Amino acid sequence: MADIFEKIKANRGPIGMHATASHGYFTFPKLEGDIGPHMNFRGKEKLNWSLNNYLGLANHPEVRKADADAGANYGFAMPMGARMMSGNSNYHEQLERELADFVSKEDAILVNFGYQAMVSAIDCLVDRHDVIVYDAESHACILDGVRLHMGKRYVFKHNDVEDCEKQLIRATKLAEETGGAILVITEGVFGMRGDQGCLKEIVALKKKFNFRLFVDDAHGIGTLGKTGAGTGEEQGVQDDIDVYFGTFAKSFAMIGGFIASDAQVVEYLRYNMRSQIFAKAMPLPLVVGAIKRLELIRNHPEFKDKLWEITNALQSGLKAAGFEIGPTNSCVTPVYMSGSIPESTNLIYDLRENYNVFCSMVVYPVVPKGMIILRLIPTAVHTMEDVQYTIACFSKIVDKLKNGEYMSETIAKV
Ligand SMILES: Cc1ncc(COP(=O)(O)O)c(C=O)c1O
């Protein structure tokens, strides 16, 4: 009989198989110093484009002070227990009310981890008679939520409304047989390519089909819409999003998140969502820290304006320099190149060590073989000089890539 440990030692997984060569450099790198565009990597300062600190709040003095004061005043143990049993507080409820108001919903529920919450909320909202219809390029947290679903699910081609409609026809037929209902799940902004979900078009399908729409707006909240309320606001369909998820891990520069909806739906989640009812409440310093962040997001639209100034300069500059950045219409800025995995690692090594630019790289199996994506995340605390320097460096490394200078049989030694 097989031994689980022997199996996992022999097959370390699609990314884990590269761990020996890449740990600490390509994977699990350590960025040190204050969070911002200039951080240290292996003891040397790098221009950093790899953090979702969109609005620059991570190191904002008011945020740092609020976090420190709340840590000192309450400690991270408080409150003890799950919200339902002993871990509720006025601050938790205040933050929920303010978040609901921010995204124009009746109520909201705080969640400790965005990923876990998406999985758990999907699990909570549907039963085995219901049908899920979801986008093919959904984030892992949606896919894992869908995996828990005991009923049927239909996937539509990424952002393809015609295919979404086809799947809704199938889902409707099935739901009529089972007596179930339909939940459509998509994202506000797809974090890898940066394209917004076609929310407006999906919402228009509500005229023909009976379904509820659940949107994961992890990258949209704080970055899109007139007030920063996200992709629904940006596309003018916030009222038609039935369940809205926002994370604190990106624009809020914290951890946790929330789900907002009609009051009755939120009450249902509060009493049934397993990841919250069977887990300790969010620590008070985080709740108080999130209240401060939300206040700053609402009162300082200039953070978002600056983010977009940098984003627009970066994206238009890259395009003018001949780079392919695909269909992004958010701040996420992927730069598409062609090359093998060894070439991509040599390129990243050169970019980090010789040009001192740090960004994330995405290769097979996340994207098709032969494709390299260098993913840049602009923030409100980057400068125009950072943008210009980076585009100049990218022009140099892509020339080297085209000249075959990064060709090598082996992955760059780190
Ligand atoms: C689209 C999307 N959904 C959910 C998550 C998970 O959120 P969190 O980091 O708050 O767990 C992420 C974060 O990577 C994300 O990009």
Question: Same structural domain for residues 42 and 133?
Answer: no
141 CB contacts (<8 Å, ≥6 apart)?
A: 114, 115, 116, 117, 118, 119, 216
Whose Cα sits closest to atom 5 in ligand 1? Answer: 115
pLDDT tens column, 289-329: 999 999 999 999 999 999 999 999 999 999 999 999 999 99
Instruction: Tell me the best of 52, 141, 146, 215 to mutate to test the pocket of ligand 1, counting ligand atoms within 8 Å of each CB and taking the most.
Output: 141
Question: Same structural domain for residues 334 and 260?
Answer: no
Question: Same structural domain for residues 209 and 285?
Answer: yes
Specify the pLDDT at position 365. Answer: 80
Last residue of a domain, one of 299, 325, 347: 299
> What CATH number has the domain bearing residue 332?
3.90.1150.10
How far apart CA 257 and CA 76 sit, in angstroms, is: 17
Question: Same structural domain for residues 326 and 224?
Answer: no
- Can you tell me the mean pLDDT for 11-16? 88
- Sign of the Cα torsion 309, 314, 320, 323 reads negative
398 CB contacts (<8 Å, ≥6 apart)?
A: 323, 337
Question: Residue 414: is its pLDDT beyond 70?
Answer: no
* Continuous H helices in 77-160: 90-102, 114-125, 140-148
**Contact by Cβ (8 Å): 225, 304:** no
Specify the pLDDT at position 339. Answer: 94
Q: Give the Å distances, CA to CA, from 246 to 73, 94, 188, 379.
A: 27, 17, 10, 18
The percent of residues above 90 in pLDDT, for the chain, comes to 93
Rounded (5°) CA angle 134-240-160: 35
For residue 123, is it within any domain? yes
At 366, the pLDDT band (50, 70, 90 cuts) reads: confident
User: How far is ligand 1, taken at its centre, from the CA of residue 248, in Å?
Assistant: 9
Reduce the DSSP state of residue 283 to 3 states and report it: coil
Question: Residue 207: is its pLDDT beyond 90?
Answer: yes
Last residue of a domain, one of 238, 272, 299: 299
- Can you tell me the mean pLDDT for 273-291? 97
125 CB contacts (<8 Å, ≥6 apart)?
A: 183, 212, 214, 243, 269
Specify the pLDDT at position 119. Answer: 98
pLDDT tens column, 178-195: 999 999 999 999 999 999
Question: Same structural domain for residues 198 and 295?
Answer: yes
How far apart CA 331 and CA 376 sit, in angstroms, is: 9
For residue 55, is it within any domain? no
Instruction: Tell me the best of 53, 111, 115 to mutate to test the pocket of ligand 1, counting ligand atoms within 8 Å of each CB and taking the most.
Output: 115
For residue 74, is it within any domain? yes
Backbone angles phi, psi at 2, to 5 degrees: -70, 150
- Can you tell me the mean pLDDT for 249-272? 98
Backbone angles phi, psi at 392, to 5 degrees: -65, -45
User: How far is ligand 1, taken at its centre, from the CA of residue 218, in Å?
Assistant: 6
At 409, the pLDDT band (50, 70, 90 cuts) reads: low
Residue 137 in contact with ligand 1 by CB distance below 6 A: no
- Can you tell me the mean pLDDT for 263-283? 97
At 252, the pLDDT band (50, 70, 90 cuts) reads: very high
Question: Same structural domain for residues 107 and 245?
Answer: yes
- Can you tell me the mean pLDDT for 209-222? 98
At 410, the pLDDT band (50, 70, 90 cuts) reads: low
pLDDT tens column, 17-63: 888 888 999 999 999 999 999 999 999 999 999 999 999 999 999 99
Question: Residue 70: is its pLDDT beyond 70?
Answer: yes
Specify the pLDDT at position 364. Answer: 84
How far apart CA 184 and CA 205 sit, in angstroms, is: 11
Specify the pLDDT at position 195. Answer: 98
Reduce the DSSP state of residue 395 to 3 states and report it: helix
Question: Same structural domain for residues 204 and 253?
Answer: yes
User: How far is ligand 1, taken at its centre, from the CA of residue 377, in Å?
Assistant: 15
Residue 215 in contact with ligand 1 by CB distance below 6 A: no
- Can you tell me the mean pLDDT for 135-157? 97
Structural domain boundaries enclosing 113: 61-299
Q: Of 15-19, 27-31, 345-349, 358-362, give the lowest mean pLDDT range.
A: 15-19
Specify the pLDDT at position 411. Answer: 56
Token pair belonging to 142: 């949606």
Question: Same structural domain for residues 179 and 286?
Answer: yes
Question: Residue 408: is its pLDDT beyond 90?
Answer: no
Element spanning 212, H or E: strand 212-216
pLDDT tens column, 90-134: 999 999 999 999 999 999 999 999 999 999 999 999 999 999 999
How far apart CA 247 and CA 255 sit, in angstroms, is: 7
158 CB contacts (<8 Å, ≥6 apart)?
A: 135, 136, 137, 190
Reduce the DSSP state of residue 160 to 3 states and report it: coil
Last residue of a domain, one of 272, 299, 326: 299
How far apart CA 110 and CA 10 sit, in angstroms, is: 40
Question: Same structural domain for residues 84 and 42?
Answer: no
Residue 123 in contact with ligand 1 by CB distance below 6 A: no
Specify the pLDDT at position 21. Answer: 84
* Tally of structural domains, the chain: 2
Residue 343 in contact with ligand 1 by CB distance below 6 A: no
**Contact by Cβ (8 Å): 125, 214:** yes
Question: Same structural domain for residues 291 and 308?
Answer: no
**Contact by Cβ (8 Å): 228, 192:** no
The percent of residues above 70 in pLDDT, for the chain, comes to 99
364 vs 413, which has greater pLDDT? 364
